[in-house]
Amino acid sequence: MASKYTALPVSEAKWATTTDDGTEETGSSSRGFRYMAIAALAAVSILLIFTSASTYTILSPSQEDFIPFQLNAYPPQTVEEDLYRDRLVALNTSDPIVPSTTNTKGLRYAILLPTFSGHFAFVVDFFQSLKCLCTDFQEVDFNIIVSDYQELQDLELLLSQLEPCHSTFSRFDTPPGNINGPNPRATIVTLYDVLPPTLQKTEGISTNDTGPLLAHRGKYIYQSIKKLSAAFHFDYDWALWLDSEAIAVRPFSIRNTFDTYVKHPTIWRSRMSKNQGQHEIMNNTAMVLGRSIESFGLPFWTLESVEWIIEKPIINDLYSYVSAAHATDFWTVWLDQGINFEVNLYNMHIHARKLETVDSIFSKYQVLETEREMIRFGMAPAFPQMETAQGTGFLERGFSLLRHPNIQPNFSGFLSRYGQRLFRMDDLGVADPEVIDRFLLDTPIDLLCSGAPPLHRWWGERVERGEIQVGKREEGEDGGGS
345-397 pLDDT tens trace: 999 999 999 999 888 899 999 999 998 888 888 888 888 888 878 888 889 99
Nearest alpha-carbon partner for 113 in 455, 456, 452: 452
Question: What's the N-to-C CA distance of the chain in angstroms?
Answer: 39
Domain boundary among 225, 245, 265: 245
Q: Is there a domain that residue 86 lies in? A: no
CB distance 452 to 245 below 8 Å:
yes
DSSP state of 154: H
Q: Is there a domain that residue 230 lies in? A: yes
pTM here? 0.82
Domain boundary among 227, 245, 263: 245
CB distance 203 to 219 below 8 Å:
no
DSSP state of 167: S
Q: Is there a domain that residue 205 lies in? A: yes
Q: Which long-range contacts (CB under 8 A, 24 or more apart) does 321-329 make?
A: 321/289, 321/290, 321/349, 321/353, 322/288, 322/289, 322/290, 325/289, 325/290, 326/290, 329/196, 329/198
Pairwise CA distance, residues 364 & 323, whole Å: 24
Q: Which residues of 423-449 are buried (b: 16+ CB within 10 A; e: fewer)?
A: bbbeebebbeeebbbbbbbbbbbbbbb
pLDDT, one tens digit per residue, over 13-35 is: 332 333 344 443 433 333 443 44
Q: Is there a domain that residue 478 lies in? A: no
Coil vs helix vs strand at 424: strand
DSSP state of 97: P
- Work out how many domains the chain is built from and give that number: 2
Say which amino acid occupies 360. Answer: S
Coil vs helix vs strand at 31: coil
Range of the domain at 139: 105-245
Domain boundary among 203, 226, 245: 245
Residue 187 is predicted with a pLDDT of: 98
Q: Is there a domain that residue 13 lies in? A: no
Q: Is there a domain that residue 352 lies in? A: no
Q: Is there a domain that residue 329 lies in? A: no
Q: Is there a domain that residue 327 lies in? A: no
Residue 480 is predicted with a pLDDT of: 40
DSSP state of 78: B
Please list the ranges in the chain whose pLDDT falls under 70.
1-85, 89-96, 473-482
